[in-house]
Amino acid sequence: MKALRFEKTGSLDELKIQEVPRPVPGPGALLVAVKAAGLNPSDAKNVLGKMHQTTVPRIPGRDFAGTIAVGTEALPVGTEVFGSGGVMGFTIDGSHAEYVAVPAAAVQPKPRALTFEEAATLGIPYLTAWHAVIEVARLKEGETILVTGTTGAVGDAAARIAKRVCNATVIGTARRHTDAVRLRLLDYVDGLADLSAGSISLPEQIRAQTEGRGVNVVFDVVGGSLFEPGLKCLALRGRQVAIASSPDPKVTFNLIDFYHNESHLIGVDSLQLSFEDSGRILGKLLPYFEAGNFGPQGDPVPVGFDAVLNAYRELAEGLAKAKYVFVPR
């Protein structure tokens, strides 16, 4: 079969299109003919050597949608499925290939309301957001959540989950006027914080929008310069969940303010989700995908073997203007 593969990390030049043997699924695993596979920033970081658990040689790719080529009694040949998570793409070969072998526990039936390309873009964003908002922060009905990076895939998924699962009050963030205009049109974003130059501080804006109380949860998908301002937005005993950092991973904050407020700071790493965890969470998300409550931010842009290496470079450089999805046929 044809696949993307790298034999050492450190440069995107190491990522090659190669002919490799078709994988043979072991006990409890499936072989999926990949119809589409999501392209995530972490895929580019993987090739660049920024994911410490990666072993080589490796086929990258964490998300996929396709049809079962070698199945089980419960998931027979021809079943349309999608899946994600676990160590796929890091210590076992991933989905940027014509076929992928994956544990049966990691997959769910593909939502009928979505195309293969759409389904393949949902895994990591929605797994990360559900795990952080529902299982870690334990957002409750009637609470208020601040989601930084709301214009990105994970932030958008978190805002939808917070509103449509928890009926929470959702405050988003925007750095550009065009983003602010778009976010104000979304029915799952209730308020907006302006992060553009010259605006008042984030904590001042949040206090003004919450009658001085602050928010119960901050879901920080940005880190860096927003880390400490996020903590200052928390209400008494509020929870801040961090999933990202700037190039400089070190941050500072006022410890006295932190413990007087009885704040909680929690880290979340989607790479720690097992295949079983991923399949379980996708199962909880499935009814929302089917109902049209959750889905991709926009139409994914398919790229084949002829364009996928350029898409990787755009992801690595932060220049991707669309959500790319790899289509290996």
Domain-embedded: residue 63: yes
Quick one: 148 and 260 in the same domain? Answer: yes
Percent of the chain scoring above 90 in pLDDT: 91
Domains in the chain, number: 2
At residue 246, the pLDDT reads 83
Residues 265, 242 contacting (CB under 8 angstroms): yes
Residue 108 host element (H or E): strand 107-109
Domain-embedded: residue 39: yes
pLDDT band at 113 (very low <50, low <70, confident <90, very high): very high
Domain-embedded: residue 276: no
Quick one: 262 and 130 in the same domain? Answer: yes
Quick one: 63 and 137 in the same domain? Answer: no
- Give per-residue pLDDT as tens, 291-323: 999 999 889 999 999 999 999 999 999 888 789
Quick one: 116 and 181 in the same domain? Answer: no
112 vs 131: CA distance, rounded Å: 24
Q: What are phi and psi of 257, to 5 degrees?
A: -60, -40
pLDDT band at 180 (very low <50, low <70, confident <90, very high): very high
Quick one: 104 and 133 in the same domain? Answer: no
Whether residue 91 is predicted with pLDDT greater than 90 in this model: the reply is: yes
Domain span at 155: 125-270
Burial of residue 135, with CB atoms counted within 10 A of its CB: 0-12 exposed, 13-18 middle, 19 or more buried: middle
102 vs 28: CA distance, rounded Å: 9
pLDDT band at 15 (very low <50, low <70, confident <90, very high): very high
Structure tokens at 319: 């220049």
pLDDT band at 120 (very low <50, low <70, confident <90, very high): very high
Quick one: 71 and 172 in the same domain? Answer: no
Quick one: 265 and 154 in the same domain? Answer: yes
What is the pTM for the complete model shown?
0.95
Whether residue 125 is predicted with pLDDT greater than 90 in this model: the reply is: yes
The domain spanning residue 307 has which CATH number?
3.90.180.10
Domain-embedded: residue 130: yes
At residue 198, the pLDDT reads 83
Domain-embedded: residue 280: no
At residue 320, the pLDDT reads 86
Burial of residue 243, with CB atoms counted within 10 A of its CB: 0-12 exposed, 13-18 middle, 19 or more buried: buried
Mean pLDDT value across residues 168-185: 94
Quick one: 250 and 265 in the same domain? Answer: yes
Quick one: 104 and 138 in the same domain? Answer: no
pLDDT band at 79 (very low <50, low <70, confident <90, very high): very high
Whether residue 285 is predicted with pLDDT greater than 90 in this model: the reply is: yes
Quick one: 159 and 262 in the same domain? Answer: yes
Whether residue 103 is predicted with pLDDT greater than 90 in this model: the reply is: yes
Whether residue 109 is predicted with pLDDT greater than 90 in this model: the reply is: yes
Q: What are phi and psi of 184, to 5 degrees?
A: -65, -20
Quick one: 130 and 117 in the same domain? Answer: no
38 vs 326: CA distance, rounded Å: 6
Dihedral sign for Cα atoms in the order 298, 304, 309, 310: negative
Domain-embedded: residue 282: no
Domain-embedded: residue 291: no
Domain-embedded: residue 289: no
Mean pLDDT value across residues 52-67: 97
Cα dihedral angle (66, 45, 289, 155), rounded to 10 degrees? -170
pLDDT band at 245 (very low <50, low <70, confident <90, very high): confident
36 vs 64: CA distance, rounded Å: 6
- Mean of pLDDT over the chain: 95
Q: For the residues of 123-181, what is the DSSP string, one character each?
A: HHHHHHHHIIIIIIS---TT-EEEETTTTSHHHHHHHHHHHHTT--EEEEEESSHHHHH
Three-state secondary structure call for residue 92 = strand
In eight-state DSSP terms, residue 210 is T
Identify the bridge partners of residue 194 per DSSP, sorted by sequence position: 174
Task: Residue 172: count other Cβ atoms within 10 Å of its Cβ.
Answer: 26
The domain spanning residue 129 has which CATH number?
3.40.50.720
Cα dihedral angle (47, 87, 240, 238), rounded to 10 degrees? 170
Quick one: 313 and 247 in the same domain? Answer: no
